[in-house]
Amino acid sequence: MPSLLHLDSSILGGNSVSRALSAAVVARLKSLDPTIDLVYRDLAAQPIPHLSGSYTAVVRGGLKAGHDAALQADLALGEAVLEEFLAADTVVLGVAQYNLSVPSQLKAWIDRIAVPGKTFRYTEKGPEGLVGNKRVIIALARGGFYGPGSPAENFEHTLSYLKSVLAFIGIANPEVIAADGVNVSSEQRKSSLTKAEAQVATLEIA
């Protein structure tokens, strides 16, 4: 049974364009294959704590966790988040751009899945990604226009960052469905969402 991990990161709830897009992506894939096993995580409603020194010392440094209950709970959460990601055949990321980059809630999730020996490793030839067999679909909403050739292109650190970190762990070609200019006007928001949803309708099962 194919598995799909769906994550949302926008703090805007029902007013979020990225949530609407990611939900449309998931609905499209489920319509094509109703047997897909879906796992959903709302990173805004249930945020993952940012990395701590003690967590990193255990996960990446091999130190013992000891009897710290809070650290034990954090380690268990990190393991669950990583296993969700590793188990998924397809990952759908609902991404809102905030202040030119990804939401901190999404960054916290990325920090839990970028784990040496699990999703990447260091070799004599440099880092090597270990999870290149996954399909990742990014459903992205940006308030302005940051695409290639736009005046603000050099200020775009959301999609460029996501592509870099995904490539680092072995996922070289994520699919991107973007709605730009959603804060420019209500007409532009509607137009961008309509165009993005038309792109969603073309998605096929990998």
> What are the binding residues?
10, 16-18
- Cα gap 127→107, rounded to integer Å: 20
- Cβ neighbours of residue 113 under 8 Å, at least 6 residues apart? 81, 82, 85, 119, 169
Q: Which residue has 């969603």 as its token pair?
A: 200
- What are the CA-CA distances from residue 1 to residues 4, 12, 40, 74, 175 (Å)? 10, 32, 16, 30, 22
Answer yes or no: are the C-beta atoms of 108 and 51 closer than 8 Å: yes
Q: Is 91 left (phi over 0), alpha (psi -120 to 50) or beta?
A: beta
Q: Residue 105, SS3?
A: helix
Binding site residue list for FMN = 10, 16-18
In terms of residues, how long is the chain?
206
Q: Which of 142, 135, 141 is nearest to 175 (CA)?
A: 135
Q: Hey, is 38 helix, strand or coil?
A: strand
Position of tokens 């047997």? 35
DSSP for residue 147: S
